[in-house]
Structure 1
Amino acid sequence: MTSSGTKTTVQEWIAHDPDPQTAAELSECSPEELDERFARSLTFGTAGLRGPLRGGPNGMNLAVVLRTTWAVAKVLKDRGMDGSQVVVGRDARHRSDEFARAAAEVLAAEGFEVVLLLAAVPTPVVAFTVRHMHAAAGIQITASHNPPTDNGYKVYFEGGLQIVGSTAAEIEAAIAEAPFADEIPRAVVETGGMSEIAHYVERAANVRRAKAPVRVAFTPLHGVGGEYAMDTFVRAGITDVHVVEKQFAPDPDFPTVSLPNPEEPGATDALLELAAEVEADVAIALDPDADRCAVGIPTPDGWRMLSGDETGWLLGDFILEQVEPGEVMDSTVVASTVVSSRMLAAIAAAHGAHYVETLTGFKWLSRADDDLPGKTMVYAYEEAIGHCVDPAAVRDKDGISAAVLVCDLIGVLKEHGRTVLDCLDELARRHGVHTTTAVSRPVADADEAAAVLARLRDTPPDRLAGYEVTVTDLSTSDGPLQSDALILAGGDAETSVRMVVRPSGTEPKVKSYIEVRRDCGNGDLQTARAEAQRVRDELVALAEQW
């Protein structure tokens, strides 16, 4: 049964809900459903707030947006940033327009100078605009690649950097003090920001340096990236682009895919079919808010999508090849996360650049060079197809500028009679075969995720694929990698194995990130890859039991 405390909270929430639809929805919920919706509020995860569109504090709705924005304003004021500029944007999901306008109106009523972007925009446009305008903060209404029933609220502070845990905690504390949603003042805001959107497109196009022709198959997966990417391609001189027509226009229901995530099986089937049909050089898929970029390539066995790690190796090496050796290279930083492949570290070492490993998420990657005076980050990536290829402009993952750089790479390779597969083979010979994958275990909520990690901490495996295991519990670390994650690692002179287990910061899942490295030695790549994949499959079977 619903507790008396919860009843009071529900009654107050419904009485002050500014949206009659969600108020009525809550009034019809069972006591058990109300307990679930009011047991906890949405909290800031890896990339902000995300949740289902529904009433109550544990969903995305108008009341949550109003109270969260009031809290953001309070934190900014507490830091002495009264009256400063704040950028507000949104994607094309259900209710994104309404939520963005509500957030802008709260900020305006609190005395901030608000730039409410006039159209649905990719998330990196907001990150760019905050940085370019030297704004105090930015808010993007988006749930990225989550199901169509979700929406979310992403916050950037100064420099266009995602907020970290300490700031998120301040905002969450302020939310607890926020007035009832219908008592929060709002002021009318006009839309604008057209010039900033144009600046973003121009900057993203300038990522391309070579001008070799390239044929592209492209899909924005029903998201907001389609027109922006096409404008950027044209400005970059990439004109031979073929689009998946049925997926080009924004559609919040994502009708042609089961999940609007380029990493999901089947999501890029239409793209790869088009790529084969038009004999493209490369296939590119953006996720719905266009901050992530997935890449497909032709192979002797047909088209396939690259993993985020494979794309990360290729772009990292491509960027470092263009950095001047010596002092310039010594001051150059590349970064990836604790759950990403170790190969970028080897690539950086071979070039003489500095490598940084961070926690999962671009709120950490964007700060990878913070404690390195005199050094500057030029590239960062995470295995979940997130790539930051122009950190000076966008300190976040940016699918559109990454797509432009991928086309640049493909064009350069074509000019030299080489392919992506040739590049991957060359990297494997230099640094060893690296085989990666991830296993996701769905959980009901954060409590079940914590229980899975607790069991693994209490009884970790003593061997991985026959190799003795060293366990590193990042929850007990006092360094920059402190987090709720376990690293299991082992190996010998020829083979190393590694698994990182952590709860997802955006979805109800526990994820196991697996990497097997196999030294090629004087043997052939095919044999090394086969052995690495055999070991990887053993680790996948183990992770599926947890």
Structure 2
Amino acid sequence: MSVDQNLIDTWIDADPDPNTRRELLEADPHDLADRFSGPLVFGTAGLRGPVRAGPNGMNTAVVIRTTAGIAQWLHGRCLGGSTVIVGRDTRHGSETFATAAAEVLAAAGFRVVQLPDPTPTPVVAFACRKLKAAVAIQITASHNPATDNGYKVYLDGGAQIISPADRDIEAAIAAVGPANSVPRAAVEASGAHLVDEYIARVATLPRGTDRGLRIAFTPMHGVGGATALAAFRAAGFTDIHVVDEQFDPNPDFPTVEFPNPEEPGATDLLLATADRVDADIAIALDPDADRCAVGVKGPNGWFMLCGDDTGAVLGDYILSHTSGDRLAATTIVSSSMLKSIAASHNSRYSETLTGFKWLARAGDGLVFAYEEALGLCVDPAAVRDKDGISAAVVACDYAANLKSAGRTFLDVLDDLAAQHGVHLTAQVSRRFNNLAHIAASMTTLRNNLPKELGGAPVVVEDLNELRGPKRTDAIILRTDQLRVVVRPSGTEPKLKCYLEAVAPTAAGDLSAARQQAERLLDVGRAFAHTL
């Protein structure tokens, strides 16, 4: 594929960063074609991509033009002069990108709160809601590889951006002139008190008083370490043992291949620490601290709970300690057990598309929301997004209460399975270098839909054929006890298959029900590997 040389020359001339200008001047034609194949587009909550020069990467020129588009969009909604917030993590380029975004917004006439230090993403979502900001921007790529960075956008109320705002902003960005023509004005950092206010809020969440809990903890080289420790201590937890090799922020994530607690091996150091110090619970945050993974000790040693297990445990805990007209929510790819749990607590239940941009808008009275990918929202009144730090504090609160009664999360999971049936979930993912192959795989599936799985008839729901907000590129295959959801990832170059098997517990025989559910999952796995 060839690219108009005039387009390349114009971009290079307008790039305010001499390093990225040089990068483009030294790039070969094939590389240039890739970098100029199109702009980064808004996906889940904003932009994400490799840190590199050109319109198809995360760099200062792209950040400047994106922010100018957001400023224009805000002015078009009669929000000129509003408060806006800019935060950042410690990834490569984050400080430079955050400063550029703040300066563009300041020159456009907004009251800019540029947080002075690297900050967990949930703090930015909290600050957006607390200050009633028109927009908050967090420079982060969450749990993506070290080569990536991103630009996450929250709207008023602190929820992630959704359509049509994302498409309207993209149109505004397209109309922005060259990056070096966008006005910028210096900004003095402010808002450090917001971190303290966030910590104080998290400290109010525990429902119990027992604090005799030993915690093993890792922020996985990200920005959540200091804030999480402060939140633990403010909530009364002091026996905390950190993974030293992963505590300080490091944009290269040297101890993990992928800085995501879901990835195999990512929590090995945490579980080794938990075993060494004889911990009661292990907690892992992802690098921007919006996801929380929980580790427990079982009969065969330490292991991490899946997101659905943690969601069921904390959902039941929160619904047990709240009353009135409440709503619990999860997504179409998460376990359906929360639906049964909510009914047992006389709570309303909602199921949304994948992602917290939808869960945050599940409905009035929301008290708990989660998604299987370790996203937990335990305090939606304050943080309308997934929040790993507050979830960690609530998980430790529950674990401490259980410990005082001689019980653990594994006992709770047995209780829930006995009451609601065994719900086992799994995921099969395929990573692609070429995004076009993901679309081709979805087309192939649509043209060759199975009529049965494991001998049971299949009911197919193609969400791409729906009208309204639940339309998305996903296919749901259901039998009476097995569900398979196939969809492209919104944040990574992956095709994902989400599996759930449900088996009733006859006469309380959990072992037999789990074996039955595992057999059903194997049917789902076999199908997923054919895609």
* Fold similarity call, TM over 0.5: yes
1:293 counterpart residue number: 292
User: For the residues of structure 2 that align with 1:15 and 1:411, how far apart are their CA atoms?
Assistant: 60
Task: List structure 1 segments (4+ residues) > 4 angstroms apart after TM superposition.
Answer: none
Alignment of 1:238-253 (within 5 A): 238-253=237-252
CA contact (8 A) 1:47 1:506 kept: no
CA contact (8 A) 1:337 1:382 kept: yes
1:10 Cα deviation from its structure 2 partner: 1.2
Partner AA of 2:166 in structure 1:
A
CA contact (8 A) 1:488 1:499 kept: yes
Alignment of 1:33-52 (within 5 A): 33-52=31-50
Identity of aligned residues (%): 56
Partner AA of 1:485 in structure 2:
A
1:523 Cα deviation from its structure 2 partner: 5.2
1:228 counterpart residue number: 227
Instruction: Figure out how many residues of one structure are paired with residues of the other and give that number.
Output: 530
1:259 counterpart residue number: 258
1:481 Cα deviation from its structure 2 partner: 1.7
Partner AA of 2:501 in structure 1:
V
CA contact (8 A) 1:334 1:377 kept: yes
User: For the residues of structure 2 that align with 1:53 and 1:466, how far apart are their CA atoms?
Assistant: 48
CA contact (8 A) 1:141 1:153 kept: yes
1:509 counterpart residue number: 494
User: For the residues of structure 1 that align with 2:453 and 2:9, how far apart are their CA atoms?
Assistant: 53
What SS does the aligned partner of 2:384 have? coil
Partner AA of 2:519 in structure 1:
R
User: For the residues of structure 1 that align with 2:62 and 2:180, how far apart are their CA atoms?
Assistant: 11
Alignment of 1:163-202 (within 5 A): 163-202=161-200
CA contact (8 A) 1:358 1:480 kept: no
1:357 counterpart residue number: 351
In the alignment, structure 1 residue 269 sits paired with structure 2 residue 258: no
In the alignment, structure 1 residue 396 sits paired with structure 2 residue 395: no
1:533 counterpart residue number: 518
What SS does the aligned partner of 1:86 have? strand
User: For the residues of structure 2 that align with 1:56 and 1:470, how far apart are their CA atoms?
Assistant: 45
1:372 counterpart residue number: none
Q: Which moved further from structure 2: 514-523 or 153-162? A: 514-523
In the alignment, structure 1 residue 332 sits paired with structure 2 residue 331: no
1:467 Cα deviation from its structure 2 partner: 1.4
2:157 counterpart residue number: 159
CA contact (8 A) 2:418 2:508 kept: no
1:446 counterpart residue number: 435
1:315 counterpart residue number: 314
1:304 counterpart residue number: 303
1:384 counterpart residue number: 373
1:463 Cα deviation from its structure 2 partner: 1.4
CA contact (8 A) 1:70 1:184 kept: yes
What SS does the aligned partner of 2:289 have? coil
User: For the residues of structure 1 that align with 2:120 and 2:449, how far apart are their CA atoms?
Assistant: 41
User: For the residues of structure 1 that align with 2:65 and 2:74, how far apart are their CA atoms?
Assistant: 14
Structure 1 unaligned segments of length 5 or more: list them.
370-374
2:106 counterpart residue number: 108
What SS does the aligned partner of 1:191 have? coil
Alignment of 1:134-145 (within 5 A): 134-145=132-143
1:443 Cα deviation from its structure 2 partner: 1.9
1:79 counterpart residue number: 77
2:482 counterpart residue number: 497
What SS does the aligned partner of 1:160 have? coil
Structure 2 unaligned segments of length 5 or more: list them.
none
CA contact (8 A) 1:433 1:517 kept: yes
Partner AA of 2:225 in structure 1:
G
Q: Which moved further from structure 2: 207-216 or 156-165? A: 207-216
1:520 Cα deviation from its structure 2 partner: 1.0
In the alignment, structure 1 residue 463 sits paired with structure 2 residue 463: no
In the alignment, structure 1 residue 62 sits paired with structure 2 residue 51: no
CA contact (8 A) 1:37 1:56 kept: yes
Q: Which moved further from structure 2: 220-229 or 526-535? A: 526-535
1:543 counterpart residue number: 528
Partner AA of 2:244 in structure 1:
E
CA contact (8 A) 1:378 1:390 kept: yes
Post-superposition Cα deviations, 1:385-420, rounded to whole Å, max 9, x if no partner, equal: 000000000000000000000001101111222111
Aligned match of 2:507 in 522, 535, 539? 522
In the alignment, structure 1 residue 342 sits paired with structure 2 residue 336: yes
Aligned match of 1:437 in 426, 430, 443? 426
1:29 Cα deviation from its structure 2 partner: 1.9
In the alignment, structure 1 residue 408 sits paired with structure 2 residue 397: yes
1:34 Cα deviation from its structure 2 partner: 1.7
CA contact (8 A) 1:47 1:505 kept: no
CA contact (8 A) 2:38 2:55 kept: yes
CA contact (8 A) 2:225 2:248 kept: yes
Post-superposition Cα deviations, 1:504-536, rounded to whole Å, max 9, x if no partner, equal: 011111101000001112251111111211221
1:479 Cα deviation from its structure 2 partner: 3.9
User: For the residues of structure 2 that align with 1:47 and 1:526, how far apart are their CA atoms?
Assistant: 41
User: For the residues of structure 2 that align with 1:226 and 1:241, how far apart are their CA atoms?
Assistant: 12
User: For the residues of structure 2 that align with 1:420 and 1:520, how far apart are their CA atoms?
Assistant: 19
CA contact (8 A) 1:362 1:397 kept: yes
Post-superposition Cα deviations, 1:331-389, rounded to whole Å, max 9, x if no partner, equal: 100100111110001100111100001111111100001xxxxx410000000000000
1:121 counterpart residue number: 119
User: For the residues of structure 2 that align with 1:541 and 1:305, how far apart are their CA atoms?
Assistant: 24
